[in-house]
Structure 1
Amino acid sequence: MRMPENVMASVLDLVMAGTETTATTLQWAILLMMKYPDIQKKVQEEIGTVVQSGSQATYEDRKNMPFTNAVIHEVQRFITLLPHVPRCTSVDTHFRGYFLPKGITVIPSLTSVLLDKTQWETPHEFNPNHFLDADGKFVKKEAFLPFSTGRRNCIGETLAKMELFLFFVGLLQTFTFQPPPGLTEADLDLAVPQTTFTLRPQPQSACAVLCE
C-alpha cells in the first residue's frame, strides 16, 4: 500500500527537519551556556534541587524548573533559528495597502516578533528573565513564536519541546561547558551565524567537564 504524499511529507518533516532544528538549537544552547557561566551554574543548581542524583529528568519536571524552562525558551527566542518560513495565501488578501492574490507565496519575518523591542525588555540580549515574573515563576509570552503560529505552525512543536528540555537538562546534569584553554567567554562568537536551512553558530571548540 502506497503511503499518501501528505503523510510522507509530514514524516520527513518530523524526522529530518526536526532533527536538524533540535540539534542546532542545542548547539546554540551549549555555546550560550559557555558564554554566560553564571546562567549555566544557576540551571545546574535548579536541576540538582529537582532531579535526584543518579536519576534522569522527566518532561514533567519542567513544571518545577522555571529558570531552566526560561533559559530554553530564551535560547529559542534569542537565536531566531528559522527567521523566514514561507507560507501561501489561501484567499485574496489586502494587507497594509497591498493586494496579495490567492496562492501567492508570503514569507513572514519571525525575527520581527522575536526581537520586537515593544515585546521584550532587552530583545538583543540573552536574558532568561524575559520568561520569569517578579517571583521567579515561568511566564508564557504571546510574542514567543519560534514555531510560527496558526493552523500551519510547526507540526513537531510538542516533540521538539520535549527533546530540547530532556537533552538540555541531561547535558547540564552531566557536564559543565567551558571555553577551551586560552579563550574566555568574551572570545566566543555569537554575532555571525552560518546560513543554511537553519541559522547555525560558527564552528567553535568547547570543553565539556564532568560535573562532580
Structure 2
Amino acid sequence: MVTTMKPQFKKWLLLPMELVRILLPPLLLHFFFAMAVHPDVQKKAQTEIDTVIGTHRLPGFEDRPSLPYIEALYREVMRWKPVGSLAVHATTADDVYDGYFIPKGTTVIGNIWAMTRDESLYPEPERFNPDRYFTAEGKLNDDDTVLAFGFGRRICVGRHFADATIWGTIVSVLSTFNIAKAKDATGNEIDIDPDYSDGLVSHP
C-alpha cells in the first residue's frame, strides 16, 4: 500500500515521527537541566519508582497510572520551557472573536509561552514545581493538557507518539541513572548556564 501511496500522503504519515525527532533532543535537555538543578525533585521521582515498581525491572507504559509524581514531573517538563513556544496558523474564513473581526488569510500566532506563564493557572510560573499538579488532598489533578502540543483542530498530529516517547524516556532515565552537575578538577560542582536559545525551537 505504501509503495502506491501519493507522495503527499507519505509525507503526512512520516510527519509525526519527524516532529518527534526534531523536538525530542531539546525537550530532553530541559529534563536533564531540571533534574541537575533540582535534585530534590529527582530524588522524589526516583523514590516513587523504587517504591511502586522496585529495582528488578524497568518501568513500562502499563505502570503510568501508578506513578502520579512521574506524570506531574512530565507535565512540568512540558510546561516549564516549551520547545516550540509559537504556533503559527492562518484563518481559512472571516471570523469574529471577542468583538474583533479577523479576515480570512490572517496569520494567527498562538503564544504557548505566554499561556504556560499564566499565574492564575501556574503560580510562580518560572519555578520548576511538579507539585503544582496535585490537589490539596494530594491527588494528581485531572488536567492533563499539554499546551506544547498545540490546541484545537491544528493540534500536533504526533502528540500521542511524542507523549509516549518523552514519558518513557523520562521514567527510564530516572529509574537507572542519577543526574547531577559535573565537577571540576578540585571536586567542586560546575554551575550550569541557565540561558536558553531564542528562536522557534528553544533549548539550553
**Same fold per TM (> 0.5)?**
yes
- Aligned equivalent of 1:205: none
What corresponds to 1:188 in structure 2? Answer: 192
Percent identical pairs in the alignment equals: 28
Shift of 1:8: 2.8
TM-score normalised per structure 1:
0.85
Amino acid at match of 2:74: I
Q: Matches of residues 54-133 of structure 1 in structure 2 within 5 Å? A: 54-96=56-98, 98-133=100-135
* SS of alignment partner, residue 182 of structure 2: coil
Indicate if the aligned counterparts of 1:89 and 1:101 stay in contact, CA closer than 8 A: yes
Alignment match, 1:44: 46
Aligned length: 199
Counterparts of 1:188 and 1:162, CA distance in 2: 28
Which consecutive unaligned segments of at least 5 residues does structure 1 have? 202-212
Whichever residue aligns with residue 23 of structure 1, its letter is P
Q: Which structure shows the bigger proportion of residues in helix conformation? A: 2
| Alignment partner, residue 8 of structure 1 | 10
Instruction: Give the whole-Å Cα distance in 2 for the aligned partners of 1:10 and 1:140.
Output: 31
CA contact (8 A) 1:66 1:136 kept: no
For CA contacts below 8 A with separation 6 or more, give which structure has more relative contact order.
2
**Compared with structure 1, are the counterparts of its residues 99 and 9 closer, same or farther at alpha carbon in structure 2 (3 Å cutoff)?**
farther
Residues 85 and 200 in structure 2, CA contact (< 8 A), matched pair in contact too: no
Structure 1 CA distance for aligned equivalents of residues 114 and 7 of structure 2: 33
| Residue correspondence of structure 1 range 144-183 to structure 2 within 5 A | 144-182=146-184
The runs of 5 or more residues in structure 2 that have no matched partner are none
Residue 204 of structure 1 corresponds to: none
- For the residues of structure 2 that align with 1:166 and 1:142, how far apart are their CA atoms? 16
Further displaced range: 95-104 or 44-53? 95-104
